[in-house]
């Protein structure tokens, strides 16, 4: 697998999570909430950071589809975090995105080859993100997490051995929480 290099124009605080969670992380804390999918140009930057520029066009149709997918994945992430499984509405949202594509298997020179096909080009990136989310769930629903810092809305896939990671970035959110605990204890 090739290591992706984020687009230098991508100013999000957390980049490089699996595709589905990277899509969720196009929103991050602020007043108002920051949104890296505010326009087609920013959608193009997100596609570039995820190595999809050559496969997906940054246009209005794609932006609408990816925003719909972000909402479906967010609802699904909230469900697995709150109840440990996908509710009917979350399943319907993901299925609505997945209905736009499929994996086509063909015989190649060395065996099976797979190619994603979508009914319209603007659904490729959304379909890949929804499919990626299902792949993450298959690895363990308890590993799809939102940062434990009360002011943070970023998501991550917990790859720690014991599955007990709490922060999107220890150097930022983890240290803030530690500092807040220390302040309360010192005032004590």
pLDDT single digits (tens) 31-65: 999 999 999 999 999 999 999 999 999 999 999 99
Tell me what pLDDT residue 174 has. 61
Residue 172 · residue 154 · CB < 8 Å: no
**Mean pLDDT confidence for 95-107:** 97
Is the predicted pLDDT of residue 1 greater than 60, yes or no?
Answer: no
Phi-psi map region of 180: left, alpha, beta (phi>0 left; psi -120 to 50 alpha): alpha
Tell me what pLDDT residue 170 has. 77
What is the value of pTM for the model shown? 0.90
How far is residue 107's CA from residue 71's CA, in Å, rounded to a whole number? 36
Q: Report the mean per-residue pLDDT for the chain.
A: 92
* Residue ranges with strand state E in the chain: 27-28, 34-35, 101-108, 111-118, 144-146, 155-157
- Domains of the chain: residue spans and CATH: 19-141 (1.10.3300.10)
Task: Compute the CA torsion angle 89, 63, 131, 70 (nearest 10 deg).
Answer: -40
* Nearest CA among 158, 4, 174, 12 for reference residue 81: 158
Cβ neighbors of 67 (< 8 A, separation 6 or more) are: 37
């Amino acid at each position: 697998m090739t290591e992706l290099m984020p687009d230098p124009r991508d100013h999000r605080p957390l980049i490089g999570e699996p595709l589905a969670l990277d899509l969720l992380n196009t929103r991050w804390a602020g007043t108002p909430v920051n949104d890296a999918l505010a326009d087609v140009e920013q959608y193009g930057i997100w596609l570039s950071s995820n190595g999809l520029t050559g496969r997906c066009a940054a246009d209005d149709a794609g932006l609408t589809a990816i925003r719909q997918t972000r909402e479906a994945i967010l609802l699904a992430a909230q469900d697995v975090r709150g109840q440990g499984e996908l509710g009917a509405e979350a399943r319907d949202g993901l299925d609505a995105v997945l209905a736009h594509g499929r994996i086509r298997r063909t015989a190649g020179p060395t065996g099976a080859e797979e190619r994603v096909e979508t009914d319209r080009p603007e659904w490729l990136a959304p379909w890949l993100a929804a499919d990626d989310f299902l792949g993450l769930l298959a690895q363990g629903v308890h590993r799809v997490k939102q940062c434990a810092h009360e002011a943070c809305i970023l998501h991550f896939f917990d790859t720690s051995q014991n599955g007990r990671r709490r922060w999107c970035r220890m150097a930022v959110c983890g240290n803030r929480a530690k500092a807040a605990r220390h302040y309360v204890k010192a005032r004590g």
